Every structure is written in structure tokens, then in C-alpha cells.
Amino acid sequence: MTFETVNLVFQAIVFLFAISIHESAHAWMANRRGDPTANMLGRITLNPIKHIDPIGTILLPAIAWFAHMPVLGWAKPTPVNPRNFKNPVLDDVLTSVAGPVSNFLTALVALGLLLLISLTSPTGREIVHETTYGIVLLSGGSLLVPLSMLLYNLLLINVVLAVFNLIPIPPLDGSHVLRHALSGPALALYDRIGFFGLLALVYFGPGLLSRLISPFMAFFIYFLR
């Protein structure tokens, strides 16, 4: 089995886990802030079936994989009823950013485990270093090889999802922060053109996405060198 095949399988597994973490965090925070809607629908769960969106979870990641782009996408939106919030603006912002924050925290856990492997032995350090740069040879029999690959994908995909979802374009999470600074016609226009802006970003701006994601990945990779 080739590196590319194993890596693809790990990416699919990690992506489903990452979106489940992301949406569960939204649902959990909304419930904490007074809106039980998502909780009542069983969305505080790591079961990916509860979170799959045909376009964002299946079609878009497939396009990204075939185009050799970072894995991008989203899950089925977590239902939120802002009327249940005691502080509608603050609670909406906290609920929105909870998803990306959960992805960053998961990436930190993956980083910590990779560092632990790296510190176990010179072999562990070499495997982690090779995994980081995508030059792992699937031979040698060490269980640290597939484990490091899985953890690196866990790090990468969670960082990509966190940064992508923080972009202030509707319906991404970052838009919930910016839209509270708008009102009237500006807000209506922002909501109306947002989806087309998202499509343009995904299909015509891979270079921009890479520039947005690269500094965050560079921060994590710095600790693995």
C-alpha cells in the first residue's frame, strides 16, 4: 500500500472526526448559553452521521482531494435559535467561534502527541520529521509510522478547518462576528452575496487559502523541527 493511499484513508477518517468535533462544540456552547435546540436534536455527539452534509462533507472534500488542495469543507449546520440566548450578540459569537476553537485545541493535542513520539527515541524523531514533510516510507514495521501519519493529518486538517471557518464570509463561522457590526442594507447585502463569495473563495482562490493557512501551519510545524 502506497503512502498516498494510506494518507487518503487517514484524511477521510480525520476529516469526519474534525467536523464532528467542530459541530459538537457549536451545539455544546449553544446549550451552555441557553439554547437547547441542537442538544435536543442529538448534535452534541462525535457520531459523524449526525453531522454529514452532502456538499460540504462529501462533494467539496472529494474535489479538494482530486485537485491536491487542502481538505476543505463543512458539516450540516448546527441549528441555533438566537431567541433563546440571554445575550444574543455575545452568545452568538461564542457559539460561532466554539467550532474553530475546538479544532485548534484538537490540533494542539495532535502536536503534543507528535512531540511525545519525537522525544521517545532518535527513530521516533526521524519518523515524525519525515511525516511532517511527506516523505515517509511505509516499510520498517514500526507502528510509529502510521500513528505519526494519523496524528499529522489530525493536526493539519483541524488547522485547515479552523482557519477556513474563521473567514468572515457567510455562512462560515467568522461571518457571525462581522455581521454584528453591520445593520440595515449593508447587513442584507452581506448575507445575500456571502454564499457566492464563499464559492469564489473555494474555486478561484486556492492561493489565497494557502496564504491564510500557511502561517498557522508554520507555527505548529516549528515545534516539530
Catalytically active residues are: 23
- What's the rounded Cα separation, in Å, for the pair 171 and 142? 43
Gap between the Cα atoms of 95 and 15, Å rounded: 21
The tally of CA atoms less than 13 A away on the side-chain side of residue 35 is: 23
Long-range contact pairs involving 164-168 (C-beta distance under 8 Å, separation at least 24) = 164/72, 164/209, 164/212, 164/213, 165/22, 165/74, 165/99, 165/100, 165/103, 166/97, 166/100, 167/201, 167/212
